[in-house]
Structures are given as structure tokens and as C-alpha cells.
Amino acid sequence: MISAFLTGFFLGISLIIAIGAQNIFVLKQGIIGKHVFYVALFCALSDALLICIGVTGVAFFLSNLTPKMSNILFGFSALWLFGYGILRLIAAFKLDTSIEIEKTSSKGLWSTLSIVAIFTFANPHVYLDTMILIGTASHQFLEADKISFAAGASFASFVFFFSLAYGAKLLKPIMERPSNWRLLDGLISIIMFILAIKLANSGNWL
């Protein structure tokens, strides 16, 4: 059981650690200190839900459906990421230099969770990683070991998102300078554009 748990944990970490739109949003919320716990919890629970669905065997049913729907998912996701990149680029070039972290985001909890929900569930890779890849990998285990594998993969998401969200506070003193905040917004916009282009290309939209 321990071996299965560790296998799931390290597989989950290796898949989730890549830079993506969801991770960047969690990082930003951690820096500004807005709804940090709920954002991290939402992301972790979402991953755990999709992992459990994949481990229960849905991966086999989706393996044939995913290729048919992937082009549409990639296209809409690319448009969303490109739009968010534009918003961050506009924020980076705002003329008002008196930016304070505490006032950077006035979004309420539900508005914030709706944004992170889009970043989470509009990303085709989250289904490929959790439901398909992890779900398929789980079939090397039987009964209790399969449950341990799923628990390990889910625990990896909790460790990663809470570490990312609360570890971001270490950057807060640095981000109190308006120029650094603009630099972050600019970097976020560039990453969003790159991800959008990659998704559009993967979905044969380019």
C-alpha cells in the first residue's frame, strides 16, 4: 500500500508541477493574499475528484471520446487564455503607478472561484493528466493498492497547491514595488499567450 501511495504521489507531482494558467493564478492569489485557502482547496479538490473518476475506470470510456473532443476543447481554451493574457498585459501597462498589493484584487470569493474553475476545467490537459493518464496508470494496482495510489496522487495535489499558495507570501515584500507587480503581470501575459498558441496548435487551429 505504501508503494502504491508513493507511486501515485510522485506521478501526481510530476504532472502538476509544470507551469500553467491555473498554477499562475494560484500564485498570484497567494501574493495578494485574497481567498488563498479557498483557491488552493478548490484546485486540490478538483484534482482529487478527477483522479477518483479516472481511477474508477472512466479512463477507458474517455480514451475514445477525448481525441474527438480535444480539438474543440483546445480551441476554446486557447481563446480564454489569450483573452486573460490581454487583460494582464493591459494591467502591466496601466499608467497608475500607485499599486498596492492589498488593493490589487477586489474580486469576491465566488468571482475568484469562478475564474479558477475556468482555468481548471477549461484546460484539456487536466483531463488527460488526471482522468486518462493517472486513471490508466492506476490499473496496475488492485483493490486496496488502487485506493492508495489514488490517495497518493490526490495528496500530491493538496501538497502542491497549498505550498504554492502559501509559499507565495514570501514574494509579497518584493511585489510591494509597483514595477515588480507590473513585471509579474507582463510575465503572466507572455506565458498565457505561449500556452494559448500551444493549445491552438495542438487543436489544429493554427
pLDDT in tens, 68-118: 566 776 777 678 778 878 877 887 776 554 444 444 455 788 989 998 998
Give me the pLDDT at residue 166, please.
93
**The predicted structure's pLDDT at residue 161:** 95
Q: Is the dihedral of CA 154, 160, 163, 165 positive or negative?
A: negative
Q: Reply yes or no on whether the pLDDT at 159 is more than 80.
A: yes
What pLDDT is recorded for position 35? 92
**Largest pairwise CA distance in the chain:** 59
**Choice between 168 and 99, residue whose per-residue pLDDT is larger:** 168
Spatial separation of the C-alpha atoms in residues 171 and 1, rounded to whole Å: 38
Q: What is the pLDDT of residue 63?
A: 54
- Across the range 130-142, mean pLDDT stands at 77
Q: Report pLDDT for 98.
A: 43
Single-letter amino acid code for the residue at 117: A
User: pLDDT by residue (tens digit) across 14-48?
Assistant: 778 766 778 888 988 898 888 999 999 999 999 99
Map the chain to HEC letters.
CHHHHHHHHHHHHHHHCCCCHHHHHHHHHHHHCCCHHHHHHHHHHHHHHHHHHHHHHHHHHHHHHHHHHHHHHHHHHHHHHHHHHHHHHHHHCCCCCCCCHHHCCCCCHHHHHHHHHHHHHCCHHHHHHHHHHHHHHHHHCCCHHHHHHHHHHHHHHHHHHHHHHHHHHHHHHHHCCHHHHHHHHHHHHHHHHHHHHHHHHHCCCC
Domain ranges within the chain, ordered by starting residue: 2-202
Q: What is the pTM of this model?
A: 0.73
Q: What is the pLDDT of residue 103?
A: 46
Q: Which amino acid is at 64?
A: N
**How high is the pLDDT of residue 175?**
66
Q: When comparing pLDDT for 49 and 87, which is higher?
A: 49
161 neighbors 43 (Cβ within 8 angstroms):
yes
Nearest residue to 119 (alpha-carbon basis) of 70, 192, 48: 192
Tell me which long-range contacts 108-113 makes (C-beta under 8 A, separation of at least 24).
109/35, 109/38, 112/29, 112/34, 112/35, 112/38, 112/39, 113/35, 113/38, 113/39, 113/42
CB-side neighbour CA atoms (13 Å) of 84? 23
Average pLDDT, the chain: 79
Per-residue pLDDT at 43: 95
Pick the range with the lowest mean pLDDT from 24-33, 163-172, 173-182: 173-182
